[in-house]
Amino acid sequence: YLRKALIDAGMKQVPILSLNASDMERQPGFKLTKGFLHRMIQAVVYGDALMQCVLATRPYETNPGSTDALCDYWIKKLRENITSASLRQYNKYIKEIIHDFDNLPVNKDVQKPRVGVVGEIYVKFHPSANNHINELIEKEGGEVVTSGLLDFFLYCAMDSTYRAKHLDGTWLSGFFGTLAREALELYRLPYAKAVAASKHFDPLQRMTEVAKEAAHYIGLGNQCGEGWFLTGDMIDLIEKGAKQIVCLQPFGCLPNHVTGKGMVKTLSAAYPDVRIAAIDYDPGSSAVNQANRLKLLLSTMFE
């Protein structure tokens, strides 16, 4: 679709850089080296840590703007050091990030309702795609809880292992899938240890545990798009105290409609005190309708 759009716009000379494991869309001048991959994974973990810290701290800050200011400070610092930071420095920065946010002045006398946000990867993470849903939830008095970007890559790696055991995947692809998953978990280990020792942040769940919970309700062979991870993500957030779940989906995303919206009835029966709303995000969708559906769900937070 991107290639066709560029050609139709008269810009066929513009390259598309695609991150994939199937050697598609090769481009001269771009090579995914070990060093680049190493720094990229570190950057993803940094981003996950900052996102989770901001979402868990900002609704409770006693000094308005202090959370965002600390986040901006760390973004600037990490940007300056990401190309040269050693593993020791990486571990140090992760600990310092968690420590700094953990010690920001917050109102400890208030516990706001937790609202889980799940969905298709782009709509879930990009504020422009979801009409700044996190800010809207916080404005309505809720606390956003969500999974990190690295969780999606852990899910993808785990799929290879499952296909090798139960479907048409090869032993070699399964081996590399397991290797990739354990390597990603190793990168995330300093972050996992830091939040486990913190005062305010949720512990991280290994993807194998998320898969185990999801398998009670959906087969792990559902691997198109976000697949079974979408169901597992909802369960994980419910177990972390989210009583309202927002499932974000592009209008034409069939896998999301199956493993997200299609699982609402099943999960609602298993967790009768939880409210789940699937909201379509599409250029043709009305932002007012999206906001109204979200506010309707959020109105149940204080019942």
Domain borders along the chain are 112-298
Residue among 70, 105, 89, 90 nearest 199 (CA) = 105
The whole-number average pLDDT for the span 105-126 is 91
CA distances to 51, 79, 138, 232, 256 from 44, in Å: 10, 12, 24, 21, 23
- Residue-wise pLDDT for 121-138, tens only, equals 989 999 988 989 999 999
Distance (Å, rounded) from C-alpha 154 to C-alpha 264? 24
Nearest CA to 154 out of 201, 192, 206, 213 is that of: 206
Residue with tokens 């720094």: 39
pLDDT of residue 106: 92
| Residues 226-246: tens digit of each pLDDT | 889 999 999 999 999 999 999
Query: pLDDT tens-digit profile of 5-25?
Result: 889 999 988 887 766 655 555
d(CA 161, CA 173): 7
3-state secondary structure of 167: coil
Q: What is the pLDDT of residue 228?
A: 93
Q: Which helix (H) or strand (E) holds 154?
A: helix 149-166
pTM for the whole structure: 0.89
179 closest CA partner among 163, 160, 165 = 160
CA–CA separation, 163 and 167 (whole Å): 5
Sheet with 275-281, strands from edge to edge, namely 143-145, 114-119, 242-250, 275-281
